[in-house]
């Protein structure tokens, strides 16, 4: 978790991979450093690079929100 804490409140580019297997309306993607990020999104963004502001750092993943035109 400590390694992920450096990402909190930062803006990162994430490649949207697809819907989360566990939560509806939550999508998963990866940063260029291969960190897993979960965020609310829509099917239109799958396969695209988006800007995400990291809100929460967890042991195995990060949680954030899409920043339009970020």
CA distance 70 to 58: 23
CA–chain centroid gap for 42, Å, is 13
CA distance 27 to 39: 5
Contact 36, 61 (CB under 8 A): yes
**pTM attached to this predicted model:** 0.91
pLDDT tens readout for residues 9-61: 999 999 999 999 888 889 999 999 999 999 999 889 999 999 999 999 999 99
pLDDT of residue 31: 96
* 36-40/62-66 β-pairing: parallel
pLDDT of residue 54: 98
Using CB atoms within 10 Å of the CB of residue 37, give its burial: 0 to 12 exposed, 13 to 18 middle, 19+ buried: buried
């Amino acid at each position: 978790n400590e390694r992920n804490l450096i990402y909190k409140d930062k803006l990162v580019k994430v490649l949207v991979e697809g819907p989360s297997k566990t939560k509806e309306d939550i999508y998963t993607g990866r940063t260029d450093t291969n960190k897993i990020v979960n965020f609310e999104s829509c099917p239109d963004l799958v396969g695209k690079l988006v800007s995400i502001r990291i809100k929460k750092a967890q042991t195995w993943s990060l949680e954030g929100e899409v920043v339009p035109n970020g």
